[in-house]
Amino acid sequence: MSNEQRNDSPVNAGRRRLLGGAAALAGLTIAPGVFLVHASVPTRPEGTPASDQVRWGMLVDTNRCRVDCDACVTACREENGWEGHDRPETDAKWIRKMTVTERDGRQTSLPMMCQHCAEPPCAYVCPTGATFRRDDGIVLVDKHLCIGCRYCMMACPYQVRFFVHEPVASRSPNHPRGKGTVEGCNLCVHRIDQGVLPACVEACGERGQGALIFGDLNDPRSRISRAIAEYGAESVRADLELDTGVRYQGLS
Amino acid sequence: MASRIRYQLIGQQQPAPFWTLAAVAAVVVLAGLAAAAYMATVGHHITGMNNQVVWGVPHVFAVTLILAASGALNVASVGSVFGRVDHKPLARLSGVLAVALLIGGLTVLVLDLGRPDRLIVAMTHYNLRSIFAWNILLYTGFLAIVAVYLWTLMEPRMRVHSTKAGTVAFAWRIILTTGTGSIFGFLLAREAYGGAIMAPLFIAASLAYGTAAFSLLFLAVMRSQGRRAPEQLLSGISGMMGVFVMAVLLLLAIHFLTLLYTPGRHDVVRFLLLEGGSIPATLWLGKVVIGGIVPAVLLFHGATRRRAGALAAASIMVLIGGFAHVFVMIVGAQSYPLQLFPGREVSGAVFDGRAASYTPTAPELLLGLGGIALVVLIAMIALRFLALTPKHLPDEPVDEPVAAEPSAEDESGGGEEPAPAASHG
């Protein structure tokens, strides 16, 4: 679906008018740590392929993210059913909280998950093509093709891909999991396709500090694009030039 | 031609010890398969692998065997491609061992997959951007090319093509080992790897470990028949392996010096060489001393380079060093924490900012040992049913009675070939 087609959709046009007004108002007061509003997510009609006109991304405002808050982690775990076996070294953690301590002692809290790179090393090295990047920028694993070689885990610079080390006791209807395959954050693709925000973004807005913005990086009018344009953002390990879909504010 | 090289089958004259050893190997193979089945059933959490060390000892065994496979063809290449006629009678042994080692290594690799039952997926879905997918093609191609090469060596009508086949096999194995090295060299996330140098490092390693594996097989076959290898041949193999052993040490040194020259990589070098728990000990003692310096002395020193015992000892040490080398390259490199925020302290739930510990468990070790046993078993079956072993080598000392096995010429049709006109030491 092209941008033009999507923009012509009455549902989206109406949604944009409504949100546009609010965004314009909020935009007047935008400041790091003060303003972050959920982006609108257009529904992808069933049977329509993902479009490369869209580049889904996430912006993390680390100024708002608190060390003692893990609302995003809990929401992701419940949404995607990756609860573990109380074995921290082998349990999956699609999203985790990290604390970064500067030389001057200043601490930054942030969530770390698949960075949905435009040039994903994991997808490049996957021998069967099980790991792939959807046209709209979401990096996914086809569970039917994954042979569990774990080369993607060797290749990922962010340590955000997980091998399912043991049989899965409970299954989430939202995401198939299987012993012996690799998995990771899929940006809640099942929600995005239905026009709903990823679980972590929603939870951060409702129970956390509103530190996450989700939206279309290709659309200069999207809130995520405007927030990045106005205050800047950076990728973790930007030196690797992977063009990540997840960006961070307040890191440096 | 002064005479013709005649080949024989092994294990006919003294079947009891032969089949006893084969049975022991088969039992270890079965134990390895049982371990793999256990891992596949309950999952990899029963191994020492974790969210950070995702490739463990099975990969160490597999990669070492695959490296040795490529290098085991050295003796055949030296004979067919580089014209060292005294090595040519051993080309069949060399080719068969190369195939056996590759099958053993690949078996371990496949059985360590999370979904080994999906091997067919790996054979039918190729992501050609993946160096791993290239390697699948390189490995299967290697098996096919060496099979053809063996055919040209063993079938009299095809013998005229053996040099061509040997040349293709030689080129292919260099490409294969380049591919194996690049599996690691292409990983930009892992600081312990150094990009382009991984390919020549792995090529040198394969030449050393493969020659060592071949030497052990060759010496075992000779010993089982109460024969002594010609001194010039021993000296030639020793010199070749010694050069390869030194080449690996040199390239390893260059690799670490290059890392040291990059300010951001100092910490990983310190980890691998000094502070990384068992990793530095494995590298210094296992690779440098046991797998490098001591065998190099044995292989180069005038008093030992012509002795079968010294060559056997050196070969065992080179292979131990090979496992140590690959262990450090695979497990050591993964144990070092990924640098998400270089220069800053980090903490988190997935080994953030801290080195991972890895202790292999029994199923992993059994799987790896099963791979080695599979190599032994395949080689023994080949020795028993194919005419691979020369009955007499040029310049072979005959001061002891030769417990010769019956000639295979009647059974295989490929049991003899023209002997080399001369040998060069």
Which residues on chain B are in Cβ contact (under 8 Å) with A130?
125
Asked if pLDDT for residue A199 goes beyond 90, the answer is: yes
pLDDT at B213: 98
User: Quick check: helix, strand or coil at residue A141?
Assistant: strand
Q: Decide if B7 contacts B385 (C-beta within 8 A).
A: no
User: Number of H helices and number of E strands within chain A?
Assistant: 8, 9
CA atoms within a 13 Å half-sphere pointing along the CA-CB vector of A233: 25
Which residues on chain B are in Cβ contact (under 8 Å) with A179?
43, 114
pLDDT at A221: 95
Instruction: Out of B42, B49, B52, name the one closest to residue A159 (CB).
Output: B52
| Rounded Cα–Cα distance for residues A183 and A166 (Å) | 13
Q: Decide if B78 contacts B87 (C-beta within 8 A).
A: yes
Render pLDDT for A92-115 as a digit per residue (tens, 0 to 9): 999 999 999 998 899 999 999 999
Closest among B245, B163, B166 to B209, alpha carbons compared: B245
Token pair in block for residue A64 = 């708002």
Asked if A181 reaches chain B (Cβ–Cβ under 8 Å), the answer is yes
pLDDT at A1: 37
The CATH code that applies to domain B17-337+354-386 is 1.20.1630.10
Mean pLDDT for A142-159 is 96
% pLDDT > 90, chain B: 80
Q: Is the Cβ pair B45, A166 closer than 8 Å? A: yes
User: Quick check: helix, strand or coil at residue B142?
Assistant: helix
Mean pLDDT for B298-317 is 95
Residues constituting chain B: 425
pLDDT at A52: 86
Q: What is the DSSP letter of B331?
A: I
Asked if pLDDT for residue B409 goes beyond 50, the answer is: no
Q: Are strands A56-61 and A246-249 parallel, antiparallel or unpaired?
A: parallel
Asked if pLDDT for residue A136 goes beyond 50, the answer is: yes
Domain boundaries, chain B: 17-337+354-386
% pLDDT > 70, chain B: 93
Query: Torsions phi, psi of A79, nearest 5?
Result: -70, -40
Render pLDDT for B199-241 as a digit per residue (tens, 0 to 9): 999 999 999 999 999 999 999 999 999 999 999 999 999 999 9
pLDDT band of residue A151 (cuts 50, 70, 90) is very high
| Rounded Cα–Cα distance for residues A41 and A191 (Å) | 9
Q: Is the Cβ pair A124, B129 closer than 8 Å? A: yes
**Model's pTM, two decimal places?**
0.89
Identify the helix (H) or strand (E) that includes residue B374.
helix B362-385
Asked if pLDDT for residue A233 goes beyond 80, the answer is: yes
pLDDT at B84: 78
Q: Which of A70, A113, A165 to mutate to test the interface with B (most CBs of B within 10 A)?
A: A165
Asked if pLDDT for residue A42 goes beyond 90, the answer is: no
Q: Decide if B107 contacts B375 (C-beta within 8 A).
A: no
Question: What are the helix (H) ranges across A34-145?
Answer: 71-80, 121-125
Asked if pLDDT for residue B97 goes beyond 60, the answer is: yes
Angle of the B362-385 helix axis to the B91-111 helix axis, nearest 10: 150
Asked if pLDDT for residue B362 goes beyond 60, the answer is: yes
Closest among B341, B338, B360, B332 to B351, alpha carbons compared: B338
Asked if A229 reaches chain B (Cβ–Cβ under 8 Å), the answer is no
Q: Decide if A159 contacts B350 (C-beta within 8 A).
A: yes
CA of A132: how far to CAs of A84, A234, B72, in Å? 25, 24, 37
Q: Is the Cβ pair B187, A150 closer than 8 Å? A: no
pLDDT at B416: 58
pLDDT at A192: 94
Q: Is the Cβ pair B349, A90 closer than 8 Å? A: no
pLDDT at B3: 55
pLDDT at B339: 93
Render pLDDT for B156-194 as a digit per residue (tens, 0 to 9): 899 899 999 999 999 999 999 999 999 999 898 898 997
| Rounded Cα–Cα distance for residues B372 and B367 (Å) | 9
Q: Is the Cβ pair B125, A93 closer than 8 Å? A: no
Identify the helix (H) or strand (E) that includes residue A162.
strand A161-163
Closest among B145, B143, B213, B138 to B183, alpha carbons compared: B138
Q: Decide if A174 contacts A190 (C-beta within 8 A).
A: yes
CA distance A151 to chain B (A): 8
Closest among B66, B65, B61, B420 to B233, alpha carbons compared: B420
Instruction: Specify which residues A8 forms β-bridges with.
Output: none
Q: Tell me what ipTM this predicted complex has.
A: 0.90
| Rounded Cα–Cα distance for residues B392 and B397 (Å) | 9
Q: Is the Cβ pair B45, A151 closer than 8 Å? A: no
Nearest CA in chain A to B352: A98
pLDDT at B5: 84
Identify the helix (H) or strand (E) that includes residue B40.
helix B15-42
Which residues on chain B are in Cβ contact (under 8 Å) with A250?
none
pLDDT at B257: 94
DSSP B340-372: SSTTSEEEESSSTTSPPP----HHHHHHHHHHH
* Mean pLDDT of the residues in chain B: 91
Q: Is the Cβ pair A165, B43 closer than 8 Å? A: yes
Asked if A143 reaches chain B (Cβ–Cβ under 8 Å), the answer is no
pLDDT band of residue B396 (cuts 50, 70, 90) is confident
pLDDT higher at A21 or B333: B333
Residues constituting chain A: 252
Q: Which of B121, B136, B331, B334 to mutate to test the interface with A (most CBs of A within 10 A)?
A: B121
pLDDT at B52: 95
Asked if pLDDT for residue B411 goes beyond 60, the answer is: no
pLDDT higher at A12 or A58: A58
Residue type present at position A71: A
pLDDT at A36: 35
Render pLDDT for B237-269 as a digit per residue (tens, 0 to 9): 999 999 999 999 999 999 999 999 988 899 999
